[in-house]
């Protein structure tokens, strides 16, 4: 694998596919994808994945997510992520569009805010990549040009 970040939707999905393939070839425990923290420094006023403009009604004036920089891990056919309760509802909605993906476990640690979710992802790398990008875009309400990094492989 020669590149470890991408900001355009098609290139991000190829990055996910390449990372999943490299992860499987290496036999590593998991891979971790993380949002570029520069997105937290600016207000989301660009177009989103659905083509709508970003926050214009003041509803999300603070661009920093409650749980910090969004991340997703993938390993052994499972997607792992942290989210808030409201993001969990959005995640459930997203997964209805991806019937091969099912929530296996929801952990609510007492010592941490939010929830940790494990999702069964028994699909080909292209379909997993589509799901991952949709999660980043819709669950975490990120702009369409968000940069994603492969931070662990």
Say if residue 130's pLDDT is above 80.
yes
% of the chain at pLDDT higher than 90: 68
Q: In what order do the strands lie in the sheet with 71-75?
A: 5-6, 148-152, 31-35, 71-75, 78-83, 115-121, 101-107
- pLDDT at residue 35 in the model: 95
Binning pLDDT at 50, 70 and 90, where does residue 139 land?
very high
**Could you give the C-alpha distances from 32 to 50, 52, 78, in angstroms and in order?**
25, 28, 12
DSSP H or E run through 95 = helix 85-95
3 dihedral zone (left: phi>0; alpha: psi -120 to 50; beta) = beta
- pLDDT at residue 109 in the model: 84
Say if residue 63's pLDDT is above 70.
no
Quote the CA–CA distance of 59 and 127 in Å, as a whole number: 32
Say if residue 43's pLDDT is above 60.
no
> Tokens representing 131?
């799901």
Instruction: Please give the mean pLDDT across all residues of the chain.
Output: 85
| Predicted TM-score of the model (pTM) | 0.81
66-116 tens-digit pLDDT: 668 999 999 989 999 999 999 999 999 999 999 999 999 999 988 878 999
Angle at 37 between CA 32 and CA 39, to 5 degrees: 120
- pLDDT at residue 1 in the model: 56
């Amino acid at each position: 694998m020669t590149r470890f970040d991408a900001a355009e939707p098609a290139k991000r999905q190829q990055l996910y596919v390449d990372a999943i393939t490299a992860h499987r070839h290496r036999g590593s425990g998991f891979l971790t994808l993380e949002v570029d923290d520069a997105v937290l420094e600016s207000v989301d006023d660009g177009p989103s994945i659905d083509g709508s403009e970003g926050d214009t009604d003041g509803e999300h004036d603070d661009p920093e997510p409650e749980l910090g920089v969004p991340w997703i891990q993938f390993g052994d056919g499972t997607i792992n992520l942290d989210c808030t309760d409201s993001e969990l509802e959005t995640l459930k909605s997203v997964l209805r569009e991806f019937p091969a993906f099912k929530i296996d476990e929801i952990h609510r640690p007492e010592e941490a805010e939010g929830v940790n979710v494990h999702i069964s992802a028994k699909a080909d790398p292209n379909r997993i990549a589509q799901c991952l990008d949709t999660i980043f875009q819709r669950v975490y309400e990120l702009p369409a040009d968000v940069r994603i990094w492969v931070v662990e492989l």
